[in-house]
Structure 1
């Protein structure tokens, strides 16, 4: 028994001495150089080139306006339901974003939705069901009638007119570049072999893929994901409409919008195919928005501080 107590004491002393000794050379199981920065979900490469690509081979003008809400019309059914279901963005600062201070959707596009709901119900308050969607789902939610309208920096193109209908143009944007403040790049010509980010199924992605300089396309679900990738140094630039880029530059002083516009993007309200009465009704709302001062008021509030003065677009109809 005495021998056991002595043995136990010796083991305890040995452990104590070992604890007081050198810890030895630490081992780094994962060198820092082997760790990649995290990526947003659904990051991929090139898109199908016809997924919204612009074409000059069709008449993109919309139908002439009509403000009538007749029995059996699309607008009458929406009024009966009690709410307008609108597909919008919540990630594009200035045009459609969720304000963290008040939990409300805000921006230029959001104001367009409110004007349409006002015209149907008398007030938009309590009569809009906001459905936030990524760029790649705009045609899908209209084809499936999951929404009544899409107002989400949505460029009118011939390819898209095969699947959905559009209102008249309510805003004209143009594609440019967003780069780090110390970048020498000012155009896609400067980005051959470099990674350039855009949203999936966007006209911007099509322009990147068709650029003669052959930049490397990186596609994401939302524009805010592009900004994350740029901030982490995982892409060299973002290329999309200047209004979207302006919102990003407003959020991050270490990036800048550069170069001239190299596309023209006419934004329209997306409407399910075959609802001509809804197209005409929305066009009557937009006529009022452009002509009554509402457009200018919203532009001055959201866009002018970043992109400078501008006026509403002029439109013609079929």
Structure 2
């Protein structure tokens, strides 16, 4: 079946140069960013990770917006006047640039805006979104080029060695996208086929484990994988169901196989150097899960493609810095 190229292929080039507009700025971090200097002490040595979903336990009551405790990382962000976040600009419904307004929007962006409101009292003019690729998610946090990353990043023990995570804010799962006329029923039916996954992602690792006979190809972005698929350079794409749902919305000649072969718990990434900021973000997540803000965002961005949810994922605590 012949495929028609959709605007996603064209938008791949545009995303590299477009600048966001609206209530918050959007910039792009170069592929090889320079490290920033920091006077913060190095993170404590890591011990065994028992449960990767355990994050730092919130302490005390959440401070009122605009009154961040002196000496905390939140106070530093408040004094700067903006929260700097690393995000995607091409993951439809999670973090993607609206073609009409130019503003980056989606479920992940709503999580960032909630943190900004808790610090400043508003998300208007207080958020700077920096567009990053999958491989950049951890380095930009280690070099403190951003305060927080919201880019459909899976929480796991290996990543806890390099960065800190919030409590889980969404539970995704890995699936596979194939041509509409494919007879495949699962990834096991794709021996010898080229399958794209973002570089530096758990999706790429899971692909190699699930079917070593598939031929992995990579791209730095989700749109990059979609472009390879639409140009015939990749037979399929594997990744989080949230991302693949956005791909199908852009390509009528694609479908997602029903097989789900992993759990992908998303967390907001932060530096290991600022555990008080992680605790604060966990307070924010607990609040928006309880007051309906989280569910409203899910209903708007993800429910049409992925169906209704009874409740947000639970928050697990108990981790201490250095573990």
With the shorter chain as reference, the TM-score category is 0.7 to 0.9
Counterpart check, 1:208 vs 2:201 = no
5+ residue gaps, structure 2, are 1-11, 14-47, 319-323
Residue 231 (structure 1) shift:
1.2
Contact kept, 8 Å, 2:144 with 2:271, in 1: the verdict is yes
- Distance in 1, matches of 2:199 and 2:256, equals 21
1:316 paired residue number: 316
Once the two structures are TM-superposed, the CA of residue 194 in structure 1 deviates from its matched residue by 1.0
Alignment of 1:1-318 (within 5 A): 58-60=50-52, 61-66=54-59, 67-68=62-63, 69-310=68-309, 311-318=311-318
Name the SS of the counterpart of 1:154 in structure 2. coil
4+ residue segments displaced more than 4 Å:
none
Report how far residue 213 of structure 1 moved: 4.4
In terms of fraction of residues, the more helix-rich structure is: 1
Q: Secondary structure at the match of 2:260?
A: coil
SS of equivalent to 1:317: strand
Deviation at 1:57, TM superposition (A): 5.7
Report the 3-state secondary structure (helix = DSSP H, G, I; strand = E; otherwise coil) of the residue aligned with 1:309. coil
Could you say what the CA RMSD is over the residues aligned between the two structures, in angstroms?
1.6
Alpha-carbon displacement from aligned partner over 1:8-53 (angstroms, at most 9, x marks no partner): xxxxxxxxxxxxxxxxxxxxxxxxxxxxxxxx89xxxxxxxxxxxx
Deviations along 1:205-237, one digit per CA (max 9) or x if unpaired, are: 001122244211101100111111111221111
Q: Quick one: distance in 2 between partners of 1:255 and 1:90? A: 21
How many residue pairs get matched?
266
Shift of 1:247: 0.6
Residue 274 (structure 1) shift: 2.4
Q: Which residue of structure 2 lines up, in the alignment, with residue 48 of structure 1?
A: none
Q: How many angstroms apart in 1 are the aligned matches of 2:109 and 2:244?
A: 18
Contact 1:89 1:134 in 2 (8 A): yes
- The 3 A distance-change label for structure 1 pair 259 and 57 is farther
SS in 1 for 2:248: helix
Q: Which has the larger radius of gyration?
A: 1
Secondary structure (helix, strand or coil) at the match of 1:305 reads helix
Report if aligned partners of 2:286, 2:315 keep a CA contact under 8 Å in 1: no
With structure 2 as the length reference, what TM-score do the two structures score? 0.80
Q: Deviations over 1:255-276 (max 9, x none)?
A: 1111221100010000011211
Measure how far apart 1:253 and its partner are: 1.3
Separation of aligned partners in 1, 2:307 and 2:220: 29
Partner Cα distance (1:131, 1:229) in 2: 24
